Structures are given as C-alpha cells and as structure tokens.
Amino acid sequence: MRQGPQTRGAPQAPSGWGDLGVTTQLYVASVSAIGLAVIAWALPIVAGPERVPLAVLVCLSIPVSLVKVRLPRVAATLTLSHVLNYVALLTLGTHAAVLVAVGGAWSQCSWRSGQDNAVHRRVFSIAGIALATQVAGVVYVCMGGTPGTLNGSASVVPLIGAATTFFLLNSWLVAGAIGLSTNRPLGTLWCETFLPTWPAFLLGATVAGANLLAVQHQRWWVVVLLLIPFALSFHNLRTYLERDAEAVTDALTGLANQRYIVAHATRELDRAKRRGTSLALIIVDLDGFKGINDTYGHRAGDAALRRVARCLKESLRSYDVCARYGGDEFLALLPDCSAAEGEAKSRDLQRAVEALDADRPSGATARLSISVGCAAYPDDHTSLEGLTEIADTRMYRNKQARGGRPNHPPAVHGAPHASHFGLAQSETVDRRGAESRSLPRLAGLSARAASRPLPRRS
C-alpha cells in the first residue's frame, strides 16, 4: 500500500512539497528519514550468500506490483507484492523482506501510476513500506517465529501477527500523510478506506506460508490450488473497490457526485461545530446550459460541463471538494473558510470560468459563464439544509444581477459545433447522468425563487 496519484472527486493531497503545511512536511520528512535508515541497515545482505534468491524475489516483485487496486476516495493503491514480502521474511529473513518490499514499492510508484509522482511522495511511500516491513519482522521474531526458517504450523501465529502489524503500520502511515495534507479526520479516513483491505493482507500471508510448506513437501499441485482462489479474491476486491468509487463519482465530469458531497458535507459541518471553525458552501450554476443543449446538441453540453468542472477543481484548494450537484449545477465545500473568504473565492471561480475563452482554438470563441452563491457556517446558518438554501438563493440573485439568461445559449462566433466547448469530433463521452435534469435536493429545500427571503439562522 502506498500513497499514489490523486483520486477524482475526493479531497486531494497537495502535489508539491511547498504546498504541504509545516506539520505535514515534518511528518513526511521524519517517516522518510527513518525508512531510509532501515533500508541502509538492510543493504549489507546484498553481499551475503542469500543474494541470488534475494535478486529473484526483487525481480519478481516488480511485475507483481503492477497488479494494482486503487483505493476509493484517497490517493493510495494496493498490490499483490506484499505476498512476496512474506515469502522473503519466511525464507531469507527481515532484511531481505525489506529490500523485496522496497523493490515492489519502487515499481508501484514508477510504472502505471496514472501520473508523475512528486519525489517526496515516492520517497515517503518506499520508506513507509520499508519501515512497516522491518517492524513486522520484529513482531514475527517476538511471537516465536524464526526469520529465514519455516517451521510449519509453529510459524502460522507469528506470520499472522507480522501481517497484521504490517497492515496496521503501513496503512496508518499513509492515512496520516493523506489526512494531514487534506485536513481529513484520520480515524474516519482509515476506517472508510483502509480497514476493508485488511483481509487481503491476512489472505496474502496465509497463501505465502501455505505455498512454502507445499514446496517443502513437493506438493506442487497445492501451490496452484492456493494461487487460483487468491487471485480470484484479489480480483473481487478490486471490482468491489472500483464499484465503490463509481458509486460516489459523477461519470461525466469525474467529480464527486451528490451522494458523496452530501455525506461529506455532513461530516465537515459536524467537525466544524466540534472544533469551532468555519465552513463555506458554494453553489455554482452553468449559465445557459439548456440553450447549449438545445442549440448545439448534447455533446456540446457535455463538453461544457466537463470543461467547467475541470476549471472549478483546479481553482480550489487541494483539500476542498467540488461535486456535480445537479444537471448543470456544482457544489463546492471549503473547510476552514470564512464568509468573506468564501465570497472572494466565488468571484475567483467566476473569473476563472470566464477566462476559459482565452484557451479557445482559433476561430472557436464559445463563451462560458457561471452564477455563484455562497453561504458560510456559522455566519449564515448552522444546518446543512439552511446553508444550501441560502447559497441557492444567492446564486439565483447573482444570476439576475448579472443579467444571466439561463434559457439562452452563450454567444458563439462562427458555426456552432461541439468543438467550441472543448470536445473533439472523435471523442467518445459517457452519457450517464449527463442530461439536463435536476437531481433530488437535500430534504427540507423548497422551490427556488430569487425573491424569497433568506431563512433565519437557527
């Protein structure tokens, strides 16, 4: 398990070292320094008599680590390489297991990662896995195991203890980095994302130990019988996690969907109340979306939604969350953001979307614009329903004040075409959820009207 490329929809870890807070920098630097020291301590085994089987296991860890499961809602992945770590621990010892784990972690960070990882992420991921493997080896010895020697059933309990230790330490190290950099509660983050993967680690340790016993007794058919169900179990885990991610992700824009943002907003509001901090909620409406669909077709409407969604996400802080809230509406949640800061960010978002015209290809000058409304806890209201209704009302007032005409398309110079909104002629779009429809609102919201009075603060 390692910290990896960012996952769509959820709060994202800052990509650059300078973007991290001081506390996060100290945490990442400390874990990295300790892990690198563990690696240096293990390196002398390379010159020992175990160097040939060690080299074989390290080489095997590279392709095995490419079989990945991307964990939902966080920037982390899980691979099968931990099975080889257990094999190295049982046959060659703790130091060999550390180097095999490092080889798998390096491969996992370097290839098929989805995007280039910053240096501090790679170092932290590799160092964290090395540290967790070293501690797991210590636990294995303390529970009666003998590294480098497989003693049949006597090694089962120590192996389970080592696998549990590796999982707990490694997952908490990764959760700590993600939680500190995205301002998310560590306990909730770990329980929701990492805890469900615990069985995979225990199963991997069991398969490793059972296969080694089968090899010792030359029962090669047992190896095949054990590897097949393990591979199927891993495939099922990956399928489950992928579907879990799809359940909270809008298929068209890649942002979080309404289901995720409502649950996340509830948690963030509760956290703000406990800590006495502020929380800003911004509702964004794409001007003239129905007109775009009616005049230029749904492909152009899809392209406009995707372009605005990408702009909104890039304009927010790394730990803010932006979701597609309805057919042409988005909702952004900004923790630790005051009412004044929320209003300023709302105007920044409007300017950012209007500036998209500067990136248009020659001859294509479709103009996109958005209407925004912001409400903040505790200044405007203390409930999520109240904040959403106030932001909704202010968004419609902003649309009226700016002369927005939601039933007319934005001006396009030249022949109307989907490419005016950033969609290539050959591009295939997933149409799920892309129609101009309004998703169900939070319970308690009334029909919107720009002239209605703001609800009283509870």
Q: Is residue 233, in this structure, part of any structural domain at all?
A: yes
Q: How confident is the model at residue 216 (pLDDT cuts 50, 70, 90)?
A: low
pTM: 0.57
What is the model's pLDDT at position 33? Answer: 96
**What does the block give as tokens for 406?**
């939601």
Residue 110 CB neighbours (<10 A): 14
Residue 31: is its pLDDT beyond 90?
Answer: yes
Q: How confident is the model at residue 361 (pLDDT cuts 50, 70, 90)?
A: very low
Residues 233 and 340 in one domain: no
What is the model's pLDDT at position 181? Answer: 80
Q: Are 313 and 255 in contact (CB under 8 A)?
A: yes
Residue 418: is its pLDDT beyond 50?
Answer: no
Q: Is residue 193, in this structure, part of any structural domain at all?
A: yes
What residues contact 341, with CB distance under 8 A and at least 6 apart? 280, 334
What residues contact 251, with CB distance under 8 A and at least 6 apart? 430, 432, 433, 434
- Return the active site residues: 328
Burial class (CB in 10 A: 0-12, 13-18, 19+), 276: exposed
**What does the block give as tokens for 27?**
């945490």
Residue 107: is its pLDDT beyond 90?
Answer: no
Q: Is residue 252, in this structure, part of any structural domain at all?
A: no
Residues 99 and 212 in one domain: yes
Q: Which of 228, 247, 266 is the last residue of a domain?
A: 247
The predicted model gives 104-129 an average pLDDT of 78
Total count of domains within the chain: 2
Q: Higher model confidence: residue 219 or residue 277? A: 277
Q: Is residue 435, in this structure, part of any structural domain at all?
A: no
Q: Is residue 436, in this structure, part of any structural domain at all?
A: no
Residues 378 and 399 in one domain: yes
Residues 161 and 266 in one domain: no
What is the model's pLDDT at position 419? Answer: 46
Q: Please give the residue range of the domain that contains residue 107.
A: 2-247
The strand pairing partners of 370, in sequence order, are 286
Residues 42 and 134 in one domain: yes
The predicted model gives 291-304 an average pLDDT of 86
Q: Higher model confidence: residue 420 or residue 347? A: 347
Residue 296: is its pLDDT beyond 60?
Answer: yes
**What does the radius of gyration of the chain's CA atoms come to, in whole angstroms?**
26
pLDDT over 70 percentage in the chain: 66
Q: Are 191 and 17 in contact (CB under 8 A)?
A: no
The predicted model gives 342-363 an average pLDDT of 77
Q: Higher model confidence: residue 421 or residue 250? A: 250
The predicted model gives 6-16 an average pLDDT of 51
What is the model's pLDDT at position 15? Answer: 56
Task: Measure Cα distances from 387 to 216, 286, 317, 323, 326 in Å.
Answer: 65, 20, 20, 16, 17
What is the model's pLDDT at position 438? Answer: 35
What is the model's pLDDT at position 117? Answer: 66
What residues contact 456, with CB distance under 8 A and at least 6 apart? none
Residues 342 and 295 in one domain: yes
pLDDT over 90 percentage in the chain: 30
What is the model's pLDDT at position 373? Answer: 95
What is the model's pLDDT at position 6? Answer: 43
Residue 82 CB neighbours (<10 A): 30
Residue 408 CB neighbours (<10 A): 14
The strand pairing partners of 330, in sequence order, are 284, 324
Residues 188 and 284 in one domain: no
Q: How confident is the model at residue 227 (pLDDT cuts 50, 70, 90)?
A: low
Q: How confident is the model at residue 154 (pLDDT cuts 50, 70, 90)?
A: low
Q: Are 327 and 253 in contact (CB under 8 A)?
A: no
Q: How confident is the model at residue 67 (pLDDT cuts 50, 70, 90)?
A: low
Q: Higher model confidence: residue 440 or residue 323? A: 323
Report the C-alpha gap between 15 and 181 in whole angstroms.
10
Average pLDDT taken over every residue of the chain: 75
**Highest mean pLDDT pick, 20-34, 74-88, 99-113, 243-257:** 20-34
The predicted model gives 178-190 an average pLDDT of 81
Q: Is residue 450, in this structure, part of any structural domain at all?
A: no
Q: How confident is the model at residue 279 (pLDDT cuts 50, 70, 90)?
A: very high
Residue 103: is its pLDDT beyond 60?
Answer: yes
Residues 227 and 351 in one domain: no
Q: Higher model confidence: residue 232 or residue 271? A: 271
We report the CATH number of the domain holding residue 279 as 3.30.70.270
Residue 57: is its pLDDT beyond 80?
Answer: yes
Residues 219 and 273 in one domain: no
Q: Which of 247, 268, 295 is the last residue of a domain?
A: 247
Residue 70: is its pLDDT beyond 60?
Answer: no
Q: How confident is the model at residue 457 (pLDDT cuts 50, 70, 90)?
A: very low
The strand pairing partners of 3, in sequence order, are 76
Range in 54-68, 144-158, 419-433 the model is least confident about: 419-433
Q: Is residue 56, in this structure, part of any structural domain at all?
A: yes
Residues 158 and 179 in one domain: yes
The predicted model gives 436-449 an average pLDDT of 38
The predicted model gives 67-74 an average pLDDT of 52
Task: Measure Cα distances from 278 to 55, 337, 341, 407 in Å.
Answer: 54, 6, 10, 35
Q: What is the sign of the dihedral through the CA atoms of 350, 355, 361 and 365?
A: positive
The predicted model gives 328-357 an average pLDDT of 91
The predicted model gives 408-415 an average pLDDT of 43
Helices (H) and strands (E) in the chain, counts: 14, 7
Task: Measure Cα distances from 96 to 34, 49, 52, 92 in Å.
Answer: 17, 12, 11, 6
The predicted model gives 232-249 an average pLDDT of 63
Residues 235 and 282 in one domain: no
The strand pairing partners of 284, in sequence order, are 330, 372
Q: How confident is the model at residue 230 (pLDDT cuts 50, 70, 90)?
A: low
Q: Is residue 76, in this structure, part of any structural domain at all?
A: yes
We report the CATH number of the domain holding residue 118 as 1.10.1760.20
Residues 166 and 19 in one domain: yes
